[in-house]
Amino acid sequence: MATTATISISSPDLMPGSSLSIAANTTLTKAGVTADLTQMETGVISLVSGTEYRLGPLATEMAGDAHDIASYLYICNTTTEDATYYIDWGINETMIGRLYAGDWMFIPWNASDDAAEIEIEPQGGTNTIEYAFFNSDFILPTAAS
């Protein structure tokens, strides 16, 4: 059950006289070992602006010590609107960057505690995202009896 992530970044003219070509590939595995990841979640969501949402599980929704779980998150803002539409993303109530229309991101994520959740907040209007979360240890909420 292999999960691989490949990136290529190219530019013929960012650095004049030296075309840029970056290529990297990695096989995503459990933390610190070479065993494959075993769980995943994908989705497409339209989100109205002005509200902060959590993406992915809380630390307490992952088995074991969340510090030691390897998780990876892909998000793409599929919106095609202008530059006033974007998604603030951050961790622990701290915004880190803006995902503009058409932008994607791919990060490792290790929730240290529930406060270290992944937060996204659309701006400008309704933004639609695609996301994929890869992990090996998230657990489902217990159903009410």
Q: Which of 58, 59, 91, 114 binds another protein (CB under 8 A)?
A: 91
Nearer to another protein, 50 or 113 (CB): 113
Does 133 sit near another protein (CB under 8 A)? Answer: no
Does 58 sit near another protein (CB under 8 A)? Answer: no
Q: Which of 27, 46, 60, 126 binds another protein (CB under 8 A)?
A: 27
Does 19 sit near another protein (CB under 8 A)? Answer: no
Q: How far is CA 55 from CA 39, 50, 52, in A?
A: 16, 16, 10
The alpha-carbon radius of gyration of the chain (Å, integer) is: 17
Strand order in the sheet with 94-100: 53-55, 118-123, 86-91, 94-100
Residues 6+ apart with CB under 8 A from 102: 76, 77, 78, 79, 80
* Residues contributing to the site for another protein (CB under 8 A): 1-15, 20, 22, 24, 26-29, 31-34, 36-40, 42, 67, 70-71, 74, 76, 82-83, 86, 89-92, 94-110, 112, 115-116, 130, 132, 134
